[in-house]
Copies of this chain bind each other. A is one copy, B any other.
Amino acid sequence: MSMTTAQRNGVNVEALFGALDAVRAQPEAAKFQFRASNEWISGTHSRSRIHGFFGLGAEQTHRDPHEYDADHPEQLVGTDSGPSPVEFLLHALAACITAGIGNIAAARGIDLTRVHSTVTGDVDLVGLLGLDDSVRNGYQAIDVSLTIEGDAGADELRAVVERSVARSAVYDLLTNGTSVQVRVEVG
Residues of A at the B interface (CB closer than 8 Å) are 1, 9-12, 15-16, 19-20, 23-24, 27, 30-46, 48, 50, 53, 55-56, 60, 62-63, 66, 68, 70-80, 82-103, 106, 112-126, 128-132, 136-149, 154, 157-158, 161-162, 165, 167-187
- With contact pairs A181-B141, A185-B145, A187-B147 given, residues A37 and B75 touching in the complex (Cβ less than 8 Å): no
Shortest beta-carbon distance from A88 to chain B in Å: 4
The answer on a CB contact under 8 Å between A138 and B172 is: yes
A77 touches which of B12, B37, B96, B179 (Cβ 8 Å) = B12
Contact indicator B142/A87 (Cβ below 8 Å): no
Is A42 in contact with B178, judged by CB distance below 8 angstroms? no
Contact B91 A176 (CB under 8 A): no
Task: Kindly state the separation between the CA atoms of A116 and B161 in the bound complex, as whole angstroms.
Answer: 38
